[in-house]
Structure 1
Amino acid sequence: MSERLNPGDTAPAFTLPDADGKPVSLADHHGRKVIVYFYPAALTPGCTKQACDFTDNLALLTGAGYDVIGVSPDKPDKLAKFRDQENLKVTLVADPDKKVLEAYGAYGEKKLYGKTVTGVIRSTVVVDENGAVERALYNVKATGHVAKIIKDLGL
């Protein structure tokens, strides 16, 4: 089980391919706050709802100085299909080897329909302008989560 992050920790650096195969690095966003959210699978109902919620609120978030990056173990071609099918505006990146998911504590044992399984733990980490963890939320719900983040951030 990977270690969970806490406020004040340095956010693990990463460079992952986006839906078009172009590299996206956390370092590219230095000087802006970043909401990095981790979800189990593109094109599934809960993950679609969450990605659409982030897209619907992207103008508010970016206007307040936050960039949004969604991370899943899907490959870039599946992310491109997800983006195009749902008209998503958030940056989606692929982590098929799950190294970044593990580094952020977003991969490990979880309960799914009463069974313990190993997989992606739906999580959101807010990283400040200097690369430090501002907040780390684990086992979040897909529905209503974006509204809660906006409220918690005072936006």
Structure 2
Amino acid sequence: MITLKAGDKAPDFQAKNQDGEPITLSDFKGKKLILYFYPKDNTPGCTAEACNLNDNYSELTDKGFEVVGVSPDNIESHQKFIAKYNLSFHLVADPEKEVINKYGVWGEKNMYGKKSMGLLRTTFVIDEDGIIQHVFKRVKTKDHTNQILEKVN
């Protein structure tokens, strides 16, 4: 499994967003990017994380950040999730796990003693040149914006 860390070049990708339009890492060249991976639309932790980022979206964009979420959900699921919570940023549909595997965030999870394979909630903060500045593997879903800003300030 790939393990990306601060200082690594972020892997380029091409996938479709919630509108079926192609989105790539290179679309964000010259901008700072919060690329966050989450397991599933409309689940409690994922909703808390998305809403926290969305509630603080203007503060993030004021600091020069774009936000993109990635999950194995399909385009239709993302459209419903965005509509339900009025999300302001792109969600990438990655049911084939191509982007997920490039970033090494699919792996063994242990929940209540039961092991299974799944998406490991992870956030990458990527600079204007496509270099990973921070990796969050222990995401505070209800306070993720502050968790990110404390590291980057």
TM-score with structure 1 length normalisation? 0.94
Note the 1:5-84 alignment, pairs <5 A: 5-84=4-83
Structure 1: distance between partners of 2:26 and 2:80: 26
Secondary structure at the counterpart of residue 70 of structure 2 = strand
Q: Give 1:145 deviation, angstroms.
A: 2.2
Q: Matched residues in 2 for 1:44 and 1:137: separation?
A: 20
For residue 17 of structure 1, report the CA deviation from its aligned partner: 0.8
Following superposition, the deviation at residue 126 of structure 1 comes to: 0.6
**Post-superposition offset of 1:141:** 3.4
User: How many Å separate the matches in 2 of 1:118 and 1:105?
Assistant: 13
Task: Report sequence identity in percent.
Answer: 43
Contact 1:106-1:138 at 8 Å conserved across structures = no
Q: Partner amino acid for 2:14?
A: T
Output one character per residue of 1:35-57: Cα deviation in whole Å (capped at 9) or x when no partner. 10000000111101100111111
Q: Structure 2-normalised TM-score?
A: 0.95
How far apart, in 2, do the equivalents of 1:132 and 1:111 lie? 30
Aligned ranges 1:91-110 → 2 under 5 Å:
91-110=90-109
C-alpha distance in 1, partners of 2:113/2:87? 32
Q: Give the aligned residue type for 1:46.
A: G
Q: Match of 2:92, SS? A: strand
Task: Indicate the RMSD between aligned Cα atoms, in angstroms.
Answer: 1.1
Q: Hey, what's the Cα distance between the residues in 2 that align with 1:151 and 1:133?
A: 16
- Number of positions where the alignment pairs a residue of Structure 1 with one of Structure 2: 153
Distance 2:95 2:107 in 1: 15
Note the residue ranges of structure 1 that are not aligned, 5 or more in a row.
none
Looking at structure 2, the residues matched to 43 and 90 of structure 1 have their Cα atoms a distance apart, in angstroms, of 16
Taking the aligned partners of 1:112 and 1:146, their CA distance within structure 2 comes to 25
